[in-house]
Structure 1
Amino acid sequence: MAEMTIRELADICGVAVSTVSRAMNDRSDVSPETRERVRAAARRYGYIPNASARRLKISTTQTISVIVQGELGQLVIEVLSHLEEAFAESGYDTTLQHVSEEHAHAGTVERLVREGKYGGVVFLGRYGSSDRDLSAQLIRRLAEIDVPMVFCTTPDYSGADSLHSSISVDDQSGAFELVSHLIEAGHRRIAFVGAGSERDREHAWALRLAGYRSALAAASIPFDERLVVPSAEEHHIYSIVNGYESTKRWLPDAPTDVTALMAVCDAAALGTARALSEAGKRVPEDCSLVGFDGMDLAKYYVPRITTLAQPLSEIAQSAARVLLATMRNPSRAIEQVWIRGRLLEGESVRRID
């Protein structure tokens, strides 16, 4: 029989994962009744906490900070849930720190980390400026803070020699697979919706655009700059409103022979679908559409959006593994982990002759 996980025990007790962690670790911020109920359930169902993590936390703080910049979208919330479970399984509490765009600089993070005395930090999603050079400077500054850090769902783009470990979906290969899927369905005139600024070339949108271009090249389809739809909302690229506004602005002058679009993410795909509908175009009858991320909103949209699903649990588990290992051994080698996504076929792609 497989060992019980902390999430399963939390579900049985009707409490949060973090509450189980605190109860099992004799924390004073859990009521005696709840502590006893959790421990009794643990004995009954054979739950065994991670012993190595118990030994580790004796020499360090019990809390790990997850820092999020900008919007708290569905993907961020789901990854946060997985991170909380993974850290709790190892005996740690997780706290969320939200940083607004205007305060996204190393000084803010240094203050948050030093005041909180955290054992480790996870940067969830993008951290830094839309200006790549400025972001690289910020990340180099973060390396001077003496606290283990890992980037989750985004690479460390500080330069050729990365300063931090990172775990991310393989954005480029995922986009390559999506566009290749469209090409296999007979499409040759494929637009990309949601391109950001040229200086931002190592963020997710740019890696996905690179995968788009690689798929076209592999099929000997000429790249056409007119089919790259720039983001109307530069600071909210991965949003429904950006997909909608970007597509709406582009459509009046768009080439008339476009048969398919790849949106930078699922949320943008929904906005794109709305803009297409308002222009009298149906998905997929008049125009096929794919997204990226594998979010529920794409699954339950009509038609269901074909997408590239990010393995969020695997990404979070890898981030937790790397951070905890770095906390044990701060001098360990940097890891850059790229995790392959999975193509989910929906109803938004039509095969053409």
Structure 2
Amino acid sequence: MPAKRPTDMRSPPTDVNVGTHNTTKAASINAVAEYAGVSIATVSRVLNSSKPVNAHTRERVEAAVEALGYRANMFARSLMRGESHLLLVLMPDFANPFFSETVKGIESVARRQGYNIVLSGAPDTLAREGHSLDILYNRLVDGVISLANYHDLPRVLRDVPNLPWVSCSEFNPESHVPHVSIDHEQAAVDAVQYLINRGHRRIALLGADENYAWARQRRAGYEMALRRAGLVIEPQLIRIARGTDYSFGMEAAGALLAQESPPTSVFAVSDTLAIGAIKAFRRAGRRVPEDIAVVGFDNIPLSQVFEPALTTIAQPMFELGAEAANLLLERLAGGAPGSRTLQHSLVVRESA
């Protein structure tokens, strides 16, 4: 049965079907106000319970909402209150499994607290001419979790100083922005020390773009472990890949094999580079680990099922994302949380 219509109600607009929730055209707040014979401000007060409204008027508005099948735009209502319940996650690489696993952790915490996340490619969002900057400058999100290259952030942090930020994995220790990460340098020391303990002396590094702090820190750990063992750091054994995709690992590994005296082992700063390197070694007829051992970094899901299974540094990817979300939510609640360092571990499998 159609909803009972209180007295003094006006006729509905002609393009709205009364009595059903399947409207020809979505009912607007204007239509509700017109139908109830009240102002838009009064409808807003009833919907948001922001100010007292007498019982008779409230009944008329509620009946109009029911009759027209009005559905409030929750996003718009949130913005009116100064919040969107949206969190922006800046992603440097959608294809990298590390970031997808980390985002799962972010999303799990955000969802439980009533937030949704918006993923955005960092290069596009942070480009000076990029339209995606509007989401930051117009405060369409409540806060930001950045996995992006920290080198790209200072201008945006300066232009939007009051927007809460948290960094995840990639961070600047001198910044006021709180972060959650592991000790990348110590993790690299552990990986290289494992190879040294296995008898390796010619250990190569497959590095990544050193605009990223984590890439610099992992290289520093590699060099520290060699120095502690009294081994010479040989520049020709250090190869910086053009990216972190598998193909770039294959490319960089090929350059190592072309040397007159190739390494007996490789430490790669990501599992994707390590897996690409193993493919290159096997195509060249080298056995892993018999001819050349390989250690990766991250412990992405593929590292367990790839043949040979990858020895790697395990980052708690899901936990990194979850903890980053917790940090940001603490900031949104008015807190001032400190940065947090999570534990890594060495997972020994078949590749080294």
Of the three residues 122, 127, 131, the one matched with 2:149 is 127
Deviations 1:68-89 (A, max 9, x none): 1344321111111111110111
SS at match of 1:253: coil
Partner of 2:159: 144
Q: C-alpha distance in 2, partners of 1:150/1:221?
A: 38
Contact 1:66 1:97 in 2 (8 A): yes
Whether 1:176 aligns to 2:189 is: yes
Contact 1:143 1:164 in 2 (8 A): no
Alignment of 1:1-80 (within 5 A): 60-80=83-103
Whether 1:340 aligns to 2:346 is: no
SS at match of 2:249: helix
Partner of 2:58: none
Whether 1:260 aligns to 2:260 is: no
Partner of 1:219: 229
Q: Structure 2, unaligned stretches of length 5 or more?
A: 1-80
Q: C-alpha distance in 2, partners of 1:318/1:87?
A: 11
Q: C-alpha distance in 2, partners of 1:229/1:77?
A: 26
Q: CA deviation at 1:176?
A: 0.6
Q: Normalising to structure 1: TM-score of the pair? A: 0.71
Contact 1:64 1:95 in 2 (8 A): yes
Of the three residues 251, 269, 290, the one matched with 1:245 is 251
Counterpart amino acid of residue 331 in structure 2: T
Q: 1:77 to 1:196 in 2, by over 3 A?
A: closer
SS at match of 2:258: helix
Q: CA deviation at 1:212?
A: 0.6
Of the three residues 152, 155, 169, the one matched with 1:153 is 169
Q: C-alpha distance in 2, partners of 1:115/1:260?
A: 50
Q: C-alpha distance in 2, partners of 1:185/1:249?
A: 24
Contact 1:177 1:343 in 2 (8 A): yes
Contact 1:269 1:289 in 2 (8 A): yes
Partner of 1:329: 334
Q: C-alpha distance in 2, partners of 1:254/1:127?
A: 35
Q: CA deviation at 1:102?
A: 5.7
Whether 1:319 aligns to 2:332 is: no
SS at match of 1:271: helix
SS at match of 1:167: strand
Deviations 1:46-74 (A, max 9, x none): xxxxxxxxxxxx87331112121344321
Partner of 1:81: 104
Deviations 1:318-345 (A, max 9, x none): 2112111111227x36x33332211111
Q: C-alpha distance in 2, partners of 1:93/1:181?
A: 41
Q: C-alpha distance in 1, partners of 2:171/2:306?
A: 30
Number of residue pairs matched by the alignment: 270
Whether 1:295 aligns to 2:300 is: yes
> Larger radius of gyration, structure 1 or 2?
2
Q: Normalising to structure 2: TM-score of the pair? A: 0.71
Give the fraction of aligned pairs with identical amino acids, expressed as a percent. Answer: 27
Q: C-alpha distance in 2, partners of 1:113/1:178?
A: 39
Partner of 1:38: none
Alignment of 1:199-214 (within 5 A): 200=211, 202-214=212-224
